[in-house]
Amino acid sequence: MSRNHDQEPEHSLLDDALSRLKDIFDRLDVADDVRARLAQPALALQVGIPVRMDDGRLEVFTGWRVHYDTTRGPAKGGIRFHPAVNREEVMTLAFWMAIKCAVVDLPFGGGKGGVAVDPKKLSRLELERLSRGYMRAVADIVGPDRDIPAPDVNTNPTVMGWMADEYDAIMRRQQRAVITGKPLALGGSPGRVESTGRGALQVLDMWAKREGRKPADTTVAVQGFGNAGYHFARLAHERGYRVVAVSDSKGAIYDAEGLSPEPIWRHKNESRELKGMVYCEESVLCECDRTTVMSQDELLALDVDVLVLAALEDQIHADNVGDVRAALVLEIANGPVTSEADDELAKRGIPVLPDVLANTGGVIVSHLEWVQNRIGEQWDEDTVNARMAERIAREAERVMDRAAKDEVSYRTAAYLQGIGRIAEAIEQRGTASDFGS
């Protein structure tokens, strides 16, 4: 592979993400130690992963595993397989994970992993070899008490199962709590697959209740019809919201009267089964009555009540923020709105329910999976959903109350909560003032 992954992109995702911290540090009046500690990741490992391809060639893929901050507990964060993954993106995603875990008070720090690969171009066996190879490459820095990976974009329970199995083989013992988002039969948790969508819907419900909005009068457009976006759309539809548009990497569909997410998803899955692949080649662009096909950009500019961003980072930026007409933006993806666009939305009075609060359902159920693995139990789905709902209700309520009381955005309120907790943990370990300076 000829790409130089050390070259940081001109527009620095990490700098943009870190730029949000200055105001938060000032408001919290944190010790200098905290500012210094959170300015860079604790550990960033780059690996070359040799994979024997089906035609006999050896291909070496570049991968990363990053621990951003582990003051509050072992690193926690997904593994992404995507051609555009790079070191900087993985560091930024790990940074957001640290904040997210602290916002909902989980005993975890922030981690993330990724491999620069287009997994749709691999056979199933090549994908398995890559997944196992990744685990072999990073095994020294993961573990139930060190760093617990999970699925992210283009990785799923099957991939987690292969990685967990490889870890057991390396350690020569069963260590189920090393990875979450596993298949149920390998120690996965009921409710994990839909947890991110379910949690995001709960946060939206809480907002709607405060605003006196009824689901039936609320239209929703969803960018990204993958694991997180689909389950959100399905549950929102069941709850009575009018999901009028969804998009994926190939295009978007719109129906003013409301779409039914399940048949659209089935259409994708049928194509997947027909092809016998782990990944679906098809799009949401199925034949449905009444639907209008539009571009992904048109979906972002729809006049809807809620614009849900569930694809990738950097989707709303300086060049297209002016097109957004929604009354609320709900971030399920990590970092889908740049800080510049965020300021612009704030100026226009469009609130954003931020990623570090709205997409925490997944990591909360991952924590519950880790707990179940460690105590040797498997709970039923109702128990898992109830525990998740309890945590989101408590922590989201705190964020929303703080936003109202301090007259700040939901993002600022969530960062104050998360960074406040991380800062307290760092300060409890001792700061410059304890050492006489």
Q: Looking at the annotation, which residues are catalytic?
A: 112
Residue 199 interacting with ligand NAD (CB under 6 A) = no
Using the contact rule CB under 6 A, the part of the chain among 4-12, 137-145, 149-157, 234-242 near ligand NAD is 149-157
Residue 187 interacting with ligand NAD (CB under 6 A) = no
Specify the residue, 34 or 354, whose C-beta has the smaller distance to ligand NAD: 354
Question: What's the closest the beta carbon of residue 12 comes to ligand NAD, in angstroms?
Answer: 18
Specify the residue, 108 or 225, whose C-beta has the smaller distance to ligand NAD: 225
Residue 247 interacting with ligand NAD (CB under 6 A) = yes
Q: How many CA atoms lie within 13 A of 13 on its CB side?
A: 24
In the list 81, 108, 225, 254, the residue contacting ligand NAD (rule: CB under 6 A) is 225
Residue 147 interacting with ligand NAD (CB under 6 A) = no
Residue 271 interacting with ligand NAD (CB under 6 A) = no
Residue 338 interacting with ligand NAD (CB under 6 A) = no
Residue 296 interacting with ligand NAD (CB under 6 A) = yes
Backbone angles phi, psi at 79, to 5 degrees: -120, 125
In the list 14, 79, 220, 311, the residue contacting ligand NAD (rule: CB under 6 A) is 311
Residue 359 interacting with ligand NAD (CB under 6 A) = yes
Task: Find the residue with minimal CB distance to ligand NAD.
Answer: 226
For residue 235, the one-letter residue type is: L
Question: What's the closest the beta carbon of residue 14 comes to ligand NAD, in angstroms?
Answer: 16
Backbone angles phi, psi at 359, to 5 degrees: -105, 25
Specify the residue, 177 or 299, whose C-beta has the smaller distance to ligand NAD: 299
Structure tokens at 183: 């298949």
Residue 94 interacting with ligand NAD (CB under 6 A) = no
In the list 42, 75, 103, 228, the residue contacting ligand NAD (rule: CB under 6 A) is 228
Q: List interacting residues with ligand NAD (CB under 6 A).
A: 151-154, 196, 223-229, 247-249, 296, 310-312, 332-334, 359, 362
